[in-house]
Chains A and B, each alone.
Chain A
């Protein structure tokens, strides 16, 4: 039988005790300090502002300009820019014929770009001048993702004759490379949720639909065994692992390392430090109404998002927001979190809700009862 972990060597669970021990030595409290700190911070999310779009249904969002703004797409194909500090709507720009399925933002070399995807087109925008229209429109492709360096993006071809992942150069707008999809497994069953394209942290590999490519070659390096499906997941920012749905694979030896039930049926994002996973229930991005089908609504993660320790894969918290979650956005400084959620599923309104990371909700905030002049900065 395993002996119980000893108390003296593990980090104190109480944050005040950890603050005391780090004053004498950072190393002293052992390997669990960062774990405890993550648990402390990423179990607390304080709702701070709601960016409302009364007239329509927001479908996706991304932070731009150092998280001072956020861009949201809606189901009529508009792009809306909000101020993160005031939740005020700054501008609206019509963008696509159909709904906006995904929004991505990147900054490289002083430029800040937004990538919007719809059912069969992708547009590239300068985030500082959205009102002047897109920089370029890319037809016959969808579900575009920037690479980490922001030098190119990958999109899925919607041309039925040419099933492929297309890599576009952000500067020239040309197709840099095509990675043909020869998998027979894709679209297996009645899967209505499409796999997402993922770039490895160093951008030299690409993963889509369970297939791993090296950026330098159109021939896949590896096809992962299908344990569940190829949706959700992504490369782990630490560089050692790939997550496919709930399975964690060793990136070099392609060995199954573990199964994490909390990740099942989710799409994930990492925090800025890459040590925490945010998971939301995945949905068919191309059909918003399907996201409120009864089976999905009954799922415990439907009105919530989940944080998971990306080092240990243990659950940190499931944060209830009592509304159907459509999308989730992180920002590099881990200060704010954005969630697109439906205010009222019957009337199909949704808004972008901002949370402050690491702060307790005011409801469980224990202020002194005698505090007359308490100022809540909301």
Chain B
């Protein structure tokens, strides 16, 4: 049974909650620090833009981050507080380029009601105290001593129980806070308090201001000399201070949640509202007194959650609801009247409200199609593991044996010719004036024979290697300039060349080394090796890009790879590969400044070695499996970076990230040969030889997950795929900001599943919104339908009393409403169930039969139902079993009884879990996510002795994920190789508010036990940032209880084993009593789950 689960992140959180600017990594370095829920990113501002410096996980959900400058320090420290009441102060260690923990601690109280409005953490501008508002009615103070060290925290009783914001005021003799709160009658006021450190109490502050805008929600403290505070409301912005200055300005109704200070003196601020509009707020002043407020409309950005003004009009806009952006504020408006120019976008999948797993390319590899973003930033995103090749042209060609591109001259930036080799001929293609490929001739080349290698060489020459000869041809005249002939009785088997060198092997282990000198081929060296040579390479990895001092050679018989020095062909190093499979392709390459020797075998395995480019030493041998067929390796470059393409039955791009080799699938079935083909018409393209076809395509950005965005300008809520009609359908809605009455318009929309072109739209009624959607067929009807569950959400009702189930057929690319059935409430969930339709409607589970009337029309007829929930929000089915996730009452298990035509409850989990998603891992184990960011599994107890025990779902696993899960789906993001052990492991994908896509893999027990030990070992080697505890972070935690994580493993921690240095890896392996290679291999296999 699958109660042993491995949880790992496939796509990290991208939703930005906080950002701040300061001098963190050095007194003269300006940094942007971005918080993405459970991660911190540190960037350096350079003239070229933002340069990432560090991206680290935090063992907690970040509640607040703040940069501050302690007394006597030359640079800033970073204060982080997590939602589970831990805090730490971090400092940059410039020598090691890592974070140093200055202090950390726990600020939880045993008694106290956590604030409903989120936690507040602030640092006094004069660095005397840190203030925290974590529980209603309490203000926690962490004082600094005069050396800048934190002292013991204490609580001060705060009378205001419904606090909206608290900030420290500038320039006060004693630390002074301003509190924005709501009273018992829901009116909002601000009040100030001085913190009396000796008495550990508040002293009534210098001023207060009553009866503010009822939408007041944000305070901006203004630095000296102006001082005071700006209060941001929904319809007014107010400035007030201790001298009873009161200035107000009306604004168009909006919700402003993000601000960024432009000037250090606090006279200008950027404000971002919920419609994505950026405003500039100016405090007009006279002799250091505020005389008025001015607000200017700047333009549109993503809906901002944080705004950080960097420098020179460049601003970082962090967003929870759309892509974060780097924008430039121009002095002059553009044609649309906007002062905002977007310089860069940072992809954000959050919030992932729903998703479906589809195999659009029919490759046996799932892709996730999400409903991402909110408000105007809503979008559909197609997330695919691996790298996409977008085919631009293709031609049918059988029997291709090799592919090379050639330039028309050595210094030409673009390729001109494509050399296509066949078993007994070679054909030459060239780009013509119409940017089409047409056949041409290169007179000096031999076209009547298979080509083994082609290359542009120095002196504007072209090299062709065939079985008989090496030919040098002039680029300009295309005529033969020089020729080297294979010795009588020998033919060239394998060859490689670069701009000035040729290395070839003839039968009998003969190795011949040629150099191009003064447009002549000169045989420099000859050697005979003990075995036949299977592959050679002399791609330059040293200083000189035109000359290599190393050659790599693979041998038959003893199955080895060797490094030889050039020009003297001395053996430097030989690595025996073991096994019986011959190396078929070797490659010397440099990725991210690190040199490697790659060696691919005939069975799809690949060895990688770190190569010392000057000595030829090989270290850090690793072996991975890429496919099952022989691999051929070739470098290519995309956007100025070099990568390696491995052609095989599972074509793979090998690239380097953080100086680590990563392997990414390519969305092609089988590739025999590949060469870069960078032409003016097809820049950065590749020529690819597949079975019977030659195609030209360009390659996506090189990253592990590829994300395609279909912007909607409205918010998508539910999505599903219908293979039969080749469509995707989704429910979405648009806010109408223009009318006085805020309103929403809801739609069902249809997309082509390949082109993502909009095909059809079905608008819903006024107040009607789409709540659920599936594609299914029914008993005795082979057609597939989209079924949509809706609710009429009337603002005056506390719960819908009416909804509909709409059944659509796709006909000629249009949504045709076939059946409509009214329900007595919101249809929160739909499932195809025994050829019928199962709906969760408010409190009830209802089963409908699909009936065909005499006239051929259809209807949904209710068959039976089951009450027993507060709100039945999520349902999943398997056979006759139904699992229900309730608003508050955890998970329950129902069963459909065919004979009685009834649905009965079999068991439930009696804990009070507020569910956000459920899924059935298998027949007996179900997984749930709840709103305190935990995952848990429950098991059906069908073998228990008593009815009472059988009626209880046993909680078998608990884990704090730290993410709000909106959806689970069975499936996988990666190609599942049927022969590998990993291919057999069932996986569930989940999507979260912060844009995380995660994988839950159900492991065999022995595997789990081994990894559990590895996790326990790694905790000792990998310390959490700020010394936060991993064990505490992953412990199940809600307002009722905290208990140790069980039957779940943290894959993110386990896979970070691969980031350890060799020494640490060996220490871990020693504790695990497993050879380090084997341990690496086992962990690498895990990384292939996502």
- Chain A residues within CB distance 8 Å of chain B: 2-9, 12-17, 19-20, 22-27, 30-31, 33-36, 39-41, 44, 66-68, 85, 200-202, 237-240, 250, 252-253, 258, 272-275, 311-313, 332-335, 357-360, 362, 365-368, 370-377
In the complex, number of A-B residue pairs with CB atoms less than 8 Å apart: 214
Name the prevailing secondary structure of the A interface residues: loop
Asked if residues A40 and B910 are in contact (CB atoms below 8 Å), the reply is no
| Distance A24 CA – B247 CA, assembled complex (angstroms) | 35
Question: Is B766 part of the binding interface, using a Cβ–Cβ cutoff of 8 Å?
Answer: no
A31 contact from B113, B116, B863, B871, Cβ within 8 A: B116
| Distance A366 CA – B843 CA, assembled complex (angstroms) | 10
User: Chain B's nearest CB lies how many Å from the CB of A309?
Assistant: 11
Q: In the complex, which residue of chain A has the Cβ closest to the Cβ of B827? A: A16
Q: Binary interface profile of B, 1030-1056, with partner A (CB < 8 Å = 1, else 0)?
A: 000000000110000000000000000
Q: In the complex, which residue of chain A has the Cβ closest to the Cβ of B844? A: A367
Chain B residues near A17 (CB-CB < 8 A): 793, 795
Chain A residues near B862 (CB-CB < 8 A): 368, 370-372
A85 contact from B825, B948, B993, Cβ within 8 A: B948
| Stretch among B20-28, B213-221, B704-712, B773-781 lining the A interface | B213-221
User: Chain A's nearest CB lies how many Å from the CB of B129?
Assistant: 20
Asked if residues B111 and A3 are in contact (CB atoms below 8 Å), the reply is no
Asked if residues A16 and B795 are in contact (CB atoms below 8 Å), the reply is no
| Distance A242 CA – B930 CA, assembled complex (angstroms) | 32
The 3 closest A-B pairs by CB, nearest first: A358-B870, A238-B113, A373-B864
Instruction: Kindly list 4 other residue pairs between chains A and B, CB separation below 8 angstroms, not including A15-B799, A40-B798.
Output: A23-B351, A240-B138, A359-B869, A366-B824
Scoring B771, B846, B870, B1039 by chain A CB atoms within 10 A of each residue's CB, the highest score goes to B870
Asked if residues B912 and A334 are in contact (CB atoms below 8 Å), the reply is yes
Chain B residues near A5 (CB-CB < 8 A): 186, 214-215
Asked if residues B111 and A6 are in contact (CB atoms below 8 Å), the reply is no
| Distance A14 CA – B767 CA, assembled complex (angstroms) | 11
Q: In the complex, which residue of chain B has the Cβ closest to the Cβ of A376? A: B867
Asked if residues A14 and B795 are in contact (CB atoms below 8 Å), the reply is yes
Q: Binary interface profile of B, 868-911, with partner A (CB < 8 Å = 1, else 0)?
A: 11110100000000000001110000000000111111000011
| Distance A5 CA – B183 CA, assembled complex (angstroms) | 12
Asked if residues A41 and B870 are in contact (CB atoms below 8 Å), the reply is yes
Asked if residues B214 and A2 are in contact (CB atoms below 8 Å), the reply is yes
Chain A residues near B164 (CB-CB < 8 A): 31
Q: In the complex, which residue of chain A has the Cβ closest to the Cβ of B715? A: A24
Chain B residues near A68 (CB-CB < 8 A): 948
| Distance A335 CA – B912 CA, assembled complex (angstroms) | 7
Question: Is B964 part of the binding interface, using a Cβ–Cβ cutoff of 8 Å?
Answer: yes
Asked if residues B888 and A377 are in contact (CB atoms below 8 Å), the reply is no
User: Chain B's nearest CB lies how many Å from the CB of A357?
Assistant: 8
B800 contact from A14, A39, A44, Cβ within 8 A: A14
Asked if residues A371 and B864 are in contact (CB atoms below 8 Å), the reply is yes
A366 contact from B136, B825, B866, B870, Cβ within 8 A: B825
Asked if residues A373 and B902 are in contact (CB atoms below 8 Å), the reply is yes
Asked if residues A14 and B794 are in contact (CB atoms below 8 Å), the reply is yes
Question: Is B931 part of the binding interface, using a Cβ–Cβ cutoff of 8 Å?
Answer: yes
Asked if residues A333 and B912 are in contact (CB atoms below 8 Å), the reply is yes
Chain A residues near B113 (CB-CB < 8 A): 237-239, 274-275, 311
Asked if residues B799 and A34 are in contact (CB atoms below 8 Å), the reply is no
User: Chain A's nearest CB lies how many Å from the CB of B180?
Assistant: 12
Asked if residues A373 and B825 are in contact (CB atoms below 8 Å), the reply is no
| Distance A33 CA – B117 CA, assembled complex (angstroms) | 10
Scoring B164, B186, B823 by chain A CB atoms within 10 A of each residue's CB, the highest score goes to B186
| Distance A362 CA – B916 CA, assembled complex (angstroms) | 26
Asked if residues A12 and B826 are in contact (CB atoms below 8 Å), the reply is no
| Distance A191 CA – B828 CA, assembled complex (angstroms) | 53
B871 contact from A15, A35, A250, Cβ within 8 A: A15
User: Chain B's nearest CB lies how many Å from the CB of A69?
Assistant: 10
Q: Binary interface profile of B, 623-644, with partner A (CB < 8 Å = 1, else 0)?
A: 0000000000000000000000
A375 contact from B159, B864, B911, Cβ within 8 A: B864
Asked if residues B217 and A67 are in contact (CB atoms below 8 Å), the reply is no
Asked if residues A8 and B255 are in contact (CB atoms below 8 Å), the reply is yes
User: Chain A's nearest CB lies how many Å from the CB of B373?
Assistant: 9
Chain A residues near B948 (CB-CB < 8 A): 68, 85
A16 contact from B182, B769, B796, B889, Cβ within 8 A: B769
Asked if residues B826 and A16 are in contact (CB atoms below 8 Å), the reply is yes
Asked if residues A2 and B211 are in contact (CB atoms below 8 Å), the reply is yes
Asked if residues A26 and B889 are in contact (CB atoms below 8 Å), the reply is no
A23 contact from B161, B353, B846, B888, Cβ within 8 A: B353
| Distance A275 CA – B114 CA, assembled complex (angstroms) | 11
- Chain B residues within CB distance 8 Å of chain A: 109-113, 116-118, 135-138, 157, 159, 161-162, 164, 182, 184-187, 211, 213-215, 217, 234-235, 253, 255, 320-321, 351, 353, 374, 715, 717, 742, 769, 771, 791, 793-801, 823-826, 828, 843-844, 846, 861-871, 873, 887-889, 900-905, 910-912, 916, 931, 948, 951, 964, 966, 993, 1039-1040
- With contacts A25-B351, A366-B825, A368-B824 taken as known, whether A7 is within 8 angstroms of B742 at the C-beta atoms is yes
| Distance A151 CA – B863 CA, assembled complex (angstroms) | 53
Asked if residues B912 and A9 are in contact (CB atoms below 8 Å), the reply is no
- With contacts A238-B136, A240-B161, A366-B825 taken as known, whether A39 is within 8 angstroms of B798 at the C-beta atoms is yes
| Distance A27 CA – B63 CA, assembled complex (angstroms) | 12
- With contacts A13-B798, A366-B825 taken as known, whether A31 is within 8 angstroms of B162 at the C-beta atoms is yes
Asked if residues A22 and B905 are in contact (CB atoms below 8 Å), the reply is no
| Distance A33 CA – B115 CA, assembled complex (angstroms) | 12
Chain A residues near B823 (CB-CB < 8 A): 368
Scoring A23, A202, A312, A313 by chain B CB atoms within 10 A of each residue's CB, the highest score goes to A23
Chain A residues near B865 (CB-CB < 8 A): 367-368, 371, 373-375
B889 contact from A24, A25, A30, A335, Cβ within 8 A: A335
Chain A residues near B902 (CB-CB < 8 A): 373, 375
Could you list 7 examples of A-B contacts with CB < 8 Å?
A3-B213, A16-B771, A20-B717, A25-B321, A30-B117, A311-B113, A372-B863
- With contacts A24-B993, A40-B799, A68-B948 taken as known, whether A335 is within 8 angstroms of B110 at the C-beta atoms is no
Q: In the complex, which residue of chain A has the Cβ closest to the Cβ of B109? A: A239
| Distance A252 CA – B795 CA, assembled complex (angstroms) | 41
Asked if residues B215 and A9 are in contact (CB atoms below 8 Å), the reply is yes
Q: In the complex, which residue of chain B has the Cβ closest to the Cβ of A204? A: B111
Asked if residues B964 and A26 are in contact (CB atoms below 8 Å), the reply is yes
Asked if residues B111 and A2 are in contact (CB atoms below 8 Å), the reply is no
B791 contact from A9, A16, A238, A367, Cβ within 8 A: A16
Q: In the complex, which residue of chain B has the Cβ closest to the Cβ of A33? A: B116
Scoring B118, B137, B825, B828 by chain A CB atoms within 10 A of each residue's CB, the highest score goes to B137
A9 contact from B111, B255, B796, Cβ within 8 A: B255
Scoring A6, A16, A335, A358 by chain B CB atoms within 10 A of each residue's CB, the highest score goes to A16
Asked if residues B117 and A31 are in contact (CB atoms below 8 Å), the reply is yes
Q: In the complex, which residue of chain B has the Cβ closest to the Cβ of A258? A: B184
Chain B residues near A375 (CB-CB < 8 A): 864-867, 902-904
Asked if residues B798 and A24 are in contact (CB atoms below 8 Å), the reply is no
| Distance A32 CA – B916 CA, assembled complex (angstroms) | 19
Chain B residues near A7 (CB-CB < 8 A): 742
User: Chain B's nearest CB lies how many Å from the CB of A162?
Assistant: 32
A8 contact from B186, B215, B873, B966, Cβ within 8 A: B215
Chain B residues near A373 (CB-CB < 8 A): 863-865, 900-902
User: Chain B's nearest CB lies how many Å from the CB of A289?
Assistant: 38
Asked if residues A6 and B795 are in contact (CB atoms below 8 Å), the reply is no
Chain A residues near B791 (CB-CB < 8 A): 16
| Distance A377 CA – B217 CA, assembled complex (angstroms) | 46
User: Chain A's nearest CB lies how many Å from the CB of B1021?
Assistant: 34
Asked if residues B1040 and A250 are in contact (CB atoms below 8 Å), the reply is no
User: Chain A's nearest CB lies how many Å from the CB of B847?
Assistant: 9
| Distance A43 CA – B280 CA, assembled complex (angstroms) | 46
Asked if residues B217 and A9 are in contact (CB atoms below 8 Å), the reply is yes
| Distance A157 CA – B825 CA, assembled complex (angstroms) | 56
User: Chain B's nearest CB lies how many Å from the CB of A275?
Assistant: 7
Chain A residues near B870 (CB-CB < 8 A): 41, 44, 357-359
User: Chain B's nearest CB lies how many Å from the CB of A68?
Assistant: 7
Asked if residues A6 and B888 are in contact (CB atoms below 8 Å), the reply is no
